[in-house]
Amino acid sequence: MQNPKKIAVVGSGLVGTLLAIYLKKRGHTVHVYDRSPDIRKINFTGRSINLVLSDRGVKALRDVGLDEEVLGIGIPVEKRAIHTGVDTVNEQFYGKDGEVIYSLSRGLLNRKMVDLAEKAGVEFFFEEKVWDVDLTTATISIGESERGEWKTRDYDLTFGADGAFSRIRHKMQRQSMFNYSQEFLNIGYKELNIPANADGTHKLDKNSLHIWPRGNFMLMALANLDGSFTCTLFMPHDGENSFESLKTKEQLVDFFANHFPDTEAVIPNLVEDFFKNPTSYLVTMKCFPWTFSDKVALIGDACHAIVPFYGHGMNAGFEDITVLEQMMEQYGDDWANLLNDYENSRKPNADAIAELSYRNFLEMSSKTADANFLLQKKIEKWFSDKHPELWVPLYSRVTFSHQPYAEALAIGDRQNEIMQEVLKMENIVENWNSEKVENKILELLKA
Ligand SMILES: Cc1cc2nc3c(=O)[nH]c(=O)nc-3n(C[C@H](O)[C@H](O)[C@H](O)COP(=O)(O)OP(=O)(O)OC[C@H]3O[C@@H](n4cnc5c(N)ncnc54)[C@H](O)[C@@H]3O)c2cc1C
Whether residues 223 and 356 fall in one domain: no
Kindly state whether residue 296 falls inside one of the protein's structural domains.
Answer: yes
Whether residues 190 and 335 fall in one domain: no
In single-letter form, the type of residue at position 236 comes to P
* Sheet containing 101-105, strands listed edge to edge, beginning at the edge strand earlier in sequence: 50-53, 101-105, 74-77
Whether residues 25 and 172 fall in one domain: yes
Kindly state whether residue 84 falls inside one of the protein's structural domains.
Answer: no
C-alpha angle 102-105-111 in degrees, rounded to nearest 5? 120
Residue nearest to atom 52 of ligand 1 (CA): 308
H-state helical runs in 106-215: 106-120, 167-172
Residue 280's pLDDT is 95
Residue 45's pLDDT is 56
Kindly state whether residue 420 falls inside one of the protein's structural domains.
Answer: yes
Kindly state whether residue 20 falls inside one of the protein's structural domains.
Answer: yes
Residue 46's pLDDT is 44
The SS3 call for residue 306 is coil
Residue 353 CB coordination number (10 Å) = 24
Whether residues 25 and 166 fall in one domain: yes
Coarse DSSP helix, strand, coil percentages of the chain, rounded to the nearest 5 percent: 40, 25, 35
Kindly state whether residue 82 falls inside one of the protein's structural domains.
Answer: no
Q: What is the CATH number of the domain that holds 340?
A: 3.50.50.60
C-alpha angle 201-202-208 in degrees, rounded to nearest 5? 140
Question: What residue ranges line ligand 1, CB within 6 angstroms?
Answer: 10-16, 33-36, 51-52, 129-130, 161-163, 167, 189, 300-302, 308, 311-315, 317
The SS3 call for residue 274 is helix
pLDDT in tens, the chain (447 residues): 799 999 999 999 999 999 999 999 999 999 999 999 999 998 865 445 899 999 999 999 999 999 999 999 999 999 999 998 777 888 888 887 789 999 999 999 999 999 999 999 999 999 999 999 999 999 999 999 999 999 999 999 999 999 999 999 999 999 999 999 999 999 999 999 999 999 999 999 999 999 999 988 999 999 999 999 999 999 999 999 999 999 999 999 999 999 999 999 999 999 999 999 999 999 999 999 999 999 999 999 999 999 999 999 999 999 999 999 999 999 999 999 999 999 999 999 999 999 999 998 887 777 777 889 889 989 999 999 999 999 999 999 999 999 999 999 999 999 999 999 999 999 999 999 999 999 999 999 998
* Sheet containing 6-10, strands listed edge to edge, beginning at the edge strand earlier in sequence: 123-125, 29-33, 6-10, 157-160, 296-298, 291-292
Whether residues 153 and 26 fall in one domain: yes
Residue nearest to atom 4 of ligand 1 (CA): 308
Q: Answer with the one of 281, 312, 340 that is the final residue of a domain.
A: 281
Give the position, in ligand 1's atom list, of the atom nearest the Cα of 52.
8
Whether residues 255 and 314 fall in one domain: no
Whether residues 177 and 51 fall in one domain: yes
How many domains is the chain partitioned into structurally?
3
Whether residues 127 and 153 fall in one domain: yes
Whether residues 125 and 62 fall in one domain: yes
Q: Answer with the one of 311, 340, 360 that is the final residue of a domain.
A: 360
Backbone angles phi, psi at 278, to 5 degrees: -70, 155
Kindly state whether residue 91 falls inside one of the protein's structural domains.
Answer: no
Whether residues 111 and 157 fall in one domain: yes
Residue 363's pLDDT is 78
Give the position, in ligand 1's atom list, of the atom nearest the Cα of 317.
26
Q: Which residues constitute the domain of residue 398?
A: 370-446
Q: For residue 111, how far is the Cα from the chain centroid?
A: 18
Residue 51's pLDDT is 94
Whose CA is closest to 412, among 354, 356, 337? 356
Whether residues 293 and 209 fall in one domain: no
